Chains A and B, each alone.
Chain A
């Protein structure tokens, strides 16, 4: 029991205030469920905010060094990704079958006809947790690729 509530109950016991006043005072001392912001409640619950962008950062450096490093930074809104996914869901079945055949020829056994718009939406939602780091060092170059959501 917190200090304020104890004091109010003590005042009620001493007859300084009536039961209605005590009830109102207790209600006033309790934090309102709407007083905290959404972000605060999210952080309290451990919920991550929804990502707004997909970022692709590429850092490339040639060992010869005279050209200097090349940096590529791409920021794509998640809304665009979602719209693209919906566009992909509009692809007619015969085209998907042809894509399936072509992918299987390349050794990628994915059945695109099984991918439904609702699954794709879920996939985009879970990109929040995705981070891809590629660090490649060749004899001539050093390339770092980072894909993440923010």
Chain B
């Protein structure tokens, strides 16, 4: 499933945590029509690079769907950052 939400948590020195939920699905709403409009150019781009356009699009889609559950955490005494794609 494609990612729908990204959660960014920031912690400052006073241990105050700010959690930000980023609705990634809104980005898809904008990107899908744009992708459809640009698809002929994307197709030509793949052909110029001598890559099978269908395989290329399939791999990009696989990357997109595999992004869910990716997590990055950096913890330090003075600050902390956590990024989680849901």
Contact = CB atoms under 8 A, between A and B. Distances in A.
Interface string B36-80: 000000000000011110011001101101111111111111100
Nearest to B72: A74
A79 B65 contact: yes
A5 interface: no
A86 B62 contact: yes
Nearest to A87: B59
The size class of the interface chain B forms with chain A is 20 to 34
A142 to B, nearest CB: 15
Contacts of A83: 59, 62-63, 65-66
Contact of A80 (B50, B52, B55, B66): B66
Contacts of A74: 71-73
Majority SS of interface residues in chain A? Answer: mixed
Interface residues of A, number: 21
Contacts of B70: 75-77, 80
A87 B77 contact: no
Interface string A58-102: 000000000111111111110110111011001010000000000
Contacts of A79: 62, 65-66
A71 B73 contact: yes
A67 B77 CA distance: 7
Contacts of B76: 67-71
A148 interface: no
Contact of B71 (A67, A69, A73, A82): A73
B67 A80 contact: yes
Contacts of A69: 76-77
Considering the complex of A and B, which 8 residue pairs feature the smallest CB-CB distances, nearest first? A68-B77, A79-B66, A80-B66, A83-B62, A75-B71, A73-B73, A71-B75, A83-B63
24 contacts: A67-B78, A68-B76, A70-B76, A71-B73, A71-B75, A72-B72, A72-B74, A73-B71, A73-B75, A74-B72, A75-B69, A75-B71, A80-B67, A83-B62, A84-B63, A86-B59, A86-B62, A87-B59, A87-B63, A90-B51, A90-B52, A90-B55, A92-B49, A92-B50
